[in-house]
Structure 1
Amino acid sequence: MATSAKSNRSLFDLDLLRALVTVADCGGFTAAAARLHSTQSTISQKVRRLEELAGHRLLDRGVRDARPTDIGETVLGYARRMLALNEELSDALSGEGATATIRLGVPEDFAGGRTTRLLAVFSREHPQVKLEVSSGLSRALGDSYDRGELDLVLLKQRRGSRDGVACWPEPMCWVDAASAPAFAQNPVPLVAFPPRGLYREDMIDAIEALGRRWRISFTSSSLGGLQAAVADGLGISLLPARAVTAGHTVLGLASGLPLIDSIERVLLHRPSAGPEVKALAARLIRMLGQEQD
C-alpha cells in the first residue's frame, strides 16, 4: 500500500522546540544553555536538528546574539503553543496544577526589574494561576496576540494604532556615545532594531530630512544590545528616554534632529478576559501609571 504524503511529514520533538524557544527568549545560546542546564554545543545541535526537520534557517546567528528569522518567528509561535499544550496535558493527567493560565507578552525592556517583581508577588498571591511570560519586539507580540496566543500584552506602538485598556506616552531621545560621538561621521552610523522594528523608520526619515547619508552599523532585537552599541561608539540611535545611560549623550534640537513624540505604550486584553487577567492588568496599570508621575 502506498504511503500518503501526510505520513511522511516531520514530527517535531518538543525538546528541540524548547531549545529554539529558550534561545529566542534569552537572545543567545550561552544564556539558553544556562537556563536549560545544558551545554552551548548541545543547544546548538538541537536547533540545527530542528532547522533540518523544518527545512529552513530559523535563527540568524550573530557574534553576540541570535534572533529569529521570519520563518523562525512563525515556528516560535507554534512551538510556544505546543509546549503550553504539553504542560496543560501533563497537569490534567496528574490532577494537579493551576486552574487558570495567563499568557502575558511584554517588550524585552520590560521583562525585568519592577515587572518581574510585580509578577512574583502576583504569583504568590494567586497560586492557582499559572503565568507564561513572553518577551520580544512589539510587532511580534502584537501578531501573537492577534493569533490568540497571548491573553494580555504590553506593546509599544505609534499613537492610536490600537485601542487598549490603558495607554501612556513613551518619551523618546536621540542618543550618541558620551566618550566617542558618532553623529559627525559621514555617512551617519545608525544603531537600530531589526527591519520592521519600531523607531527604525523614524531614524532613517529624520537623517534623510537633514540631507545626511546614513548606514545601519549595528542591529539587535535587544534594547540592552542597542544601549551598549551606542555607548561604545558604534552609532547614534533613537531610544526611550528611560533607556538613556551614563554612557550616552542626548542629542538636542540643536543637532537638527526632530522631537519624536508619536510613540506610546498600550496594554491590551480582550473584553471576554477572565478575572485573573483583569486583576493582573490592573496591577500593571498601577505600576506603569506610577512611572508617569
Structure 2
Amino acid sequence: MPTISKANKALFDLDLLRAIVVVADCGSFTTAAARLHSTQSTISQKVRRLEDMVGHRLLVRGNRDVLPTDAGQTLLGYARHMLALNDQMLEALAGARVGVTVRLGVPEDFVGGRTTTALAAFSRAHAQVKLEVTSGLCRDISQAYDNGELDLILLKQRRNAREGIARWPERLQWIDSAQAPTFDLDPVPLVTFPPRGLYRDDMIQALEAMGRAWRISFTSSSLSGLQAAVADGMGISLLPPRAASTAHRVLGAPQGLPEVDSYEIIIVHRPTADGRVRALADVLSELLQVQPG
C-alpha cells in the first residue's frame, strides 16, 4: 500500500478555523458573520469546507443556537491552539505583545466596591488580557450577550429564566426616604425601573395584594437615579440591600410589605469560552460566594 508523504497531507487554513471558532463562540452564523465583517453564506461555506476536509459534521443547529458535535469539539480545541500560536508568532515577529480582549457585562449595582477591586486584581494577574466592562440594565446585558457582543455576563433574573454556570439567590428589600418618607401617602408613590425592568411588577403586585392604591412617581434606567429619587422623597422602591444607603429607611414586615425572593444572580458564558473568560468567571464566583447580595 502506498504511503502518503507529509508533504501531501492537507493543511488547515487558519481563516477557516477562525470562522468555525467564532461561530461556536457566538452560537450563531449570523452573529459570527457580523463579527468577522463577512456574510452568513461565506461563513457557512467555510464551515462546510472544513467538514469536507475532515469528513465529519462539525456543527449542528440546536433549538436556540448552533452547537459543536463531538468531532467539532475536538477540532475547536486544536483550532484555538493553532490560532493562539499564530498570534504568538505575529507577536514575536512584530516585537509587541498581542492582548486578548474579554468583554464582561454586569448590572449597574455591581459596579464599584468589591467588584471593581476583584476586576482590578484580575487585570494585574492577567496583564495580557484587555478587560472591557459594560454595565446597564440586565435585559440589555442579556441581549448584548445573545448578540455575541459580550463573552461573560453577571445577570439578575427571575429564578431559572435561563441557564448559568453558577447561581445565587438575589436578596431584595423595600426602601423609603429616611428624611421624607412616603409609604403612608395615598396613593403610594413608586420609584421604579422602566416597564419590563426588574422588580417593577413585584412592587405593584405586592401593594395591590395589600389593598393599597399606588402610582408611578419616578422611572429611570439608572440605579443611581432611583437611589436619589427615593432618598429625596419621590417614593418607595424595591432594590438589593447593596443599593441602600444612610439616606434610606428600610421597610418590611412591620409595614405589611412581603419579602420578595423570586430573583437570582447567575453567571453565564458559552461552553466554548476561552480559558481567560473561565478564569474571570471563577473570580466572579468567588466574589458572589462571599456575599451574593
| TM class, shorter-length | 0.5 to 0.7
Q: Which residue of structure 1 aligns with residue 229 of structure 2?
A: 229
| Cα deviation code 1:199-251 (max 9, x no counterpart) | 01111111122222211111122222211211111100001122221121121
- Secondary structure (helix, strand or coil) at the match of 1:176 reads strand
Matched, 1:106 2:99: no
Residue 158 of structure 1 aligns with which residue? 158
For 1:115-194, list aligned pairs within 5 A.
Answer: 115-194=115-194
CA distance in 2, matches of 1:275, 1:175: 41
Which amino acid is the alignment partner of residue 276 of structure 1?
Answer: R
Indicate the SS of the match to 1:250: strand
Match for 2:254: what amino acid? Answer: A
Runs of 5+ unmatched residues, structure 1: 1-80, 83-91
The answer to whether the 8 Å contact 1:164/1:266 transfers is: yes
How has the CA–CA distance of structure 1 residues 97 and 106 changed in structure 2, closer, same or farther, with 3 Å as cutoff? farther
SS in structure 1 opposite 2:202?
helix
Question: SS of the counterpart of 2:197?
Answer: coil
Q: What does residue 64 of structure 1 align with?
A: none
Per the alignment, residue 280 of structure 2 pairs with: 280
| SS in structure 1 at match of 2:291 | helix
Cα distance in 2 for partners of 1:107, 1:238 equals: 16
Alignment partner, residue 270 of structure 1: 270
The question of whether the paired residues in 1 share the 8 Å contact of 2:109 and 2:242 is answered with: no
Could you tell me which residue of structure 2 aligns to residue 258 of structure 1? 258
Q: Distance in 2 between matches of 1:161 and 1:146?
A: 14
Closer, same or farther: CA 260–98 of 1 in aligned 2, 3 Å: farther
Q: TM-score, normalised by structure 2?
A: 0.65
**CA–CA separation in structure 1 for the residues paired with 2:108 and 2:213:** 30
RMSD: 2.3
Would you say the 8 A contact 1:98–1:129 is kept in 2? no
Distance between the aligned counterparts of 1:97 and 1:223, measured in 2? 38
Conserved? CA contact 1:151–1:273, under 8 Å: yes
> Residue in 1 aligned with 2:28?
none
Name the structure 1 match of 2:243.
243
Aligned length: 205
Rg (Cα) greater in structure: 2
Distance, in Å, in 2 between the alignment partners of 1:124 and 1:98 is: 16
Partner SS for 1:150: coil
What's the counterpart of residue 215 of structure 2? 215
Q: CA deviation at 1:170?
A: 1.2
- Normalised TM-score (structure 1): 0.65
Q: Is the 8 A contact 1:98 1:127 kept in 2?
A: no
Letter in 1 for 2:122: F
Alignment correspondent of 1:35: none
